[in-house]
Amino acid sequence: MSEWIAAAGLMVAIDGPSGSGKGTVAKLLADEIGLPVLDTGLLYRLTGAVALERGVELDNEAALAEMVGDMLIGLSWSSDGIGYDGADWTPRLRTEAVGAAASTVAAKPLVRERLLSLQQQLAQAGCIMDGRDIGTVVLPDAPAKFFLTASVRERARRRWSQLKQMGHRGDLDEVLLDLKKRDQRDRERQHAPLAQASDAISIDSTTLRVDEVVDRMLGILERRQLIKPSA
Ligand SMILES: Nc1ncnc2c1ncn2[C@@H]1O[C@H](COP(=O)(O)OP(=O)(O)OP(=O)(O)O)[C@@H](O)[C@H]1O
Ligand SMILES: Nc1ccn([C@H]2C[C@H](O)[C@@H](COP(=O)(O)O)O2)c(=O)n1
Run means of pLDDT, 10 residues per run, the chain, 231 residues: 91 97 97 97 98 97 98 95 96 90 96 97 96 97 98 96 85 94 92 96 98 98 97 75
Contact 131, 41 (CB under 8 A): yes
Nearest in space to 19 (alpha carbons), one of 170, 138, 198, 226: 170
Look at residue 35 and give its three-state secondary structure. Answer: coil
Q: Is the dihedral of CA 194, 196, 197, 202 positive or negative?
A: positive
Instruction: Spell out a b/e string for 111-132, using b for 16 or more CB atoms within 10 Å of the CB, else e.
Output: bbebbeebbeeebeebbbbbbb
Q: Is 48 in the pocket of ligand 2 (CB under 6 A)?
A: no
Q: Is 18 in the pocket of ligand 2 (CB under 6 A)?
A: yes
pTM (predicted TM-score): 0.97
Look at residue 195 and give its three-state secondary structure. Answer: coil
Question: Measured in angstroms, how far is the CA atom of residue 71 from the centroid of ligand 2?
Answer: 17
User: CATH number of the domain that 190 lies in?
Assistant: 3.40.50.300
The pLDDT value recorded for residue 157 is 97
Q: Is 135 in the pocket of ligand 2 (CB under 6 A)?
A: no
Q: Which atom of ligand 1 is nearest to the CA of 212?
A: 1
Phi, psi of 31 (to 5 degrees): -65, -40
Largest CA distance in the chain: 54
- Taking the CA of 119 as reference, the closest ligand is 2
- Taking the CA of 99 as reference, the closest ligand is 2
Q: By residue range, what is the domain housing residue 183? A: 4-229
Based on the structure, what is the number of domains in the chain?
Answer: 1
